[in-house]
Structure 1
Amino acid sequence: MSGGQVPTPVGAVVAPPRPRVRAGVQAVAAVVAVLAVVALGATYRYFVTTVPGQSLDELAFTGAAYGQGRLWRVAEPVLDVVSVAFIVGGIGAAMAVALVRRRWVLALQVAVLVGGANLTTQVLKHQVLTRPDLLPGWNGANTLPSGHTTVAASVSVALLLATPRAWRPAVALLGAAYTGATGVSTLVGQWHRPSDVVAALFVVLAWGALVCAMTPASSLDVAPRRRRLPSGLPQPHAFHSPGSSVVAGLLLLGGAVTGGLALAAAVRLLEAGTVPIGEDVTAYGAGVLGVLSATAVTFALLLLVRQATARPRD
């Protein structure tokens, strides 16, 4: 052979290259984190500090009284799961997975993710953000973002980040389902308004994307050793599995459909210039759809961002 190269024997094991960080996708993850912060600010600005926003939120809150007795029997057990023990167990499980995979820095990162997201929610809700009384009478203190939703979403995202590459699509689906159920349950119990839940999702999205943007080389995925085929070509790389794209695409599609329906309902309520008092059930339905939309989009983005930032440079 030319150049003095020795051919690789057929069936020989090809060692994977040393993982290297992909700076470009890390920059994209940082942009996603910034956009999540902007979306959080916009949610607060419209639904808390404007009359139309507060009116829509309050109508959705009032509409939750319809059928509450039957729905609460399902929602209450979901909310009862959220506790200090659940947070500790969730962090412990995510860290254990990372440690078993020998991702030492990642174990610390998932703990920072859960702790940072929940601390951010509590500081914003109780120390930073206020709720002006724009509607007749006193409508309560600020409740944005939702603490229960932050706990459910942050623990789910921690597991998404810690698990191996092949498991992440399934973890994203399960995490989105559990987080969406928790968020909707807070609406059923009239613990929160829809904007509170959406804001909590943006808090977790910002922290999750930020952690992905800071992925070190030691936390990158490593493909299993590949054997050359009889033709002499290497087997397809494990990084090229289409499962993540399919799951993320379905989540984004679901988010777009439910978000479009929620937006159409909100526009219909506001097109007369004032929110009709008798449309609380419509507003409630729009709020539920908005929560499901934000949940689906959050987990779709974090799945894509995690897979991209965890994949080393070829």
Structure 2
Amino acid sequence: MNVDTREQPSAARPGGDPGGPDGVVPVARLTPPPPPRVRTGAHVVAGVVALLAVVALWLTYRVFVTTTAGQHVDELALEGAEHGQNSLWQVAEPVLDVVSVTFVVLGVGAAIAVALVRRRWILALQVAVLVGGANLTTQVLKHYVLDRPDLLSGWNGPNTLPSGHTTVAASVSVALLLATPRAWRPVVALLGGAYTAATGVSVLIGQWHRPSDVVAALFVVLAWGALVCALTPASSLDLAPRRHRAASGVARPGAFATPGSSVVAGLLLLGAAVAGGLSAAAVVRLTGDGTTGVPSDVAAYAAGSLAVLGATAVTFALLLLLRQSTARPRA
């Protein structure tokens, strides 16, 4: 807060002693600090990430649905899910049972409630639009926009890209990530990413989806989440904790420092690089000479699972960094 120290006349004290050398006393007037301003550069980066996610979604469809080699790898992964399915399904089925209308309502309601408690009125609307928009996008793309040509021998079913279950799990997790206070976001990113990855792998175990379906769903959520970050208004910015505010009401340096976010995002990106590299290497071998040292369907299944883990890690790492950056007021 700003302090107005303009001097005003003052009555003499009892005994004729004035309030100051010139007969005046300072009067303190408190004025509110200037409103926070958004960081334009961070918002531009978030918009670029949203566009790149759309491109990645299109490339996933183009490579794994509209090419013979891509469909072949995806189908091998679908067949490979039969290995150990009986025991793995006992773990996967309860994870998939969580995804329901009730789960969406409770998840979105919790995100909105957190935003409202924090008095982020526009953010409360944005997280609802995020979940609704992401899931609507998935259903429209899957049923009305994208088609699956029969490039392999026989009919291999209708288009299943993107995965609806993965979109629900990821979008609700991202909504909570965007709505929670700054200090809690690294924890929410880890928990939300873990739950989303478990859902994505579970739909592979149950042979409900191919790996490309799950990866595409993650890119849908990444695009919507980055778009929300790019449109963060001044009213949704983070406020510095009271202990970091100076007497004037301006935050001291380091008030918005979040080293935990950088550590979590860095670990997620490192894990994504390892998983993505192994997955890509397996796919190259499968589409090349086909020798991987293990049965081709097992190799494709493992590669698909690694791709899901890598895409999940990238999605939550980027959205954690974007949210922390776009929610930080400009100095």
TM over 0.5: yes
Give 1:8-87 correspondences, 5 Å limit: 18-87=35-104
Instruction: Verify the 8 A CA contact 1:29 1:213 in the aligned structure 2.
Output: yes
Query: Which structure has the higher relative contact order (CA within 8 Å, separation 6+)?
Result: 1
Aligned to 1:11: none
Cα distance in 2 for partners of 1:237, 1:16 equals 18
**Contact 1:26-1:212 within 8 A present in 2 as well:** yes
Q: CA deviation at 1:224?
A: 1.6
The reply on whether 1:171 has 2:171 as its aligned counterpart is: no
Match of 2:172 in 1: 155
Greater helix share, structure number: 1
* Residue pair 2:290, 2:296 contacting (<8 A) in 1 also: no
Deviation at 1:239, TM superposition (A): 0.6
Deviation digits for residues 157-178 of structure 1 (CA, Å, limit 9, x no counterpart): 0000000000000000001000
Partner Cα distance (1:206, 1:274) in 2: 36
Structure 1: gaps (5+ residues): 7-14
Q: Does 1:110 align with 2:123?
A: no
Give the SS at the match of 1:238.
coil
1:134 aligns with 2:148: no
Q: Measured at CA, do residues 138 and 105 of structure 1 come closer, stay the same or move farther in structure 2, by a change above 3 Å?
A: same
Q: Distance in 2 between matches of 1:102 and 1:108?
A: 12
| Deviation at residue 227 of structure 1 after TM alignment | 5.5
Larger gyration radius, structure 1 or structure 2: 2
1:98 CA drift (Å): 0.1
Letter in 2 for 1:207: W
Question: Which of 301, 306, 311 is equivalent to 2:318?
Answer: 301
- Count of matched residue pairs: 302
Other structure's SS at 1:49 match: coil
The alignment's TM-score, normalised by the length of structure 1, stands at 0.91
Q: Does 1:240 align with 2:240?
A: no
Q: C-alpha separation between the residues in 2 aligned to 1:17 and 1:71?
A: 56
Match of 1:99 among 112, 116, 126: 116
Asked if the contact 2:285–2:292 (Cα under 8 Å) also holds between the matched residues in 1, the reply is no
Query: 1:118-143 deviations in whole A, cap 9, x for unaligned?
Result: 00000000010010000000000000
- The one-letter code matched in structure 1 to 2:205 is V
Percent of residue pairs identical: 77
For 1:227 and 1:207, locate their aligned partners in 2 and report how far apart those are by CA, in whole Å.
Answer: 33
Q: Which runs of 4+ in 1 moved over 3 A?
A: 273-278
Q: Structure 2 residue aligned with 1:198, among 186, 208, 215?
A: 215
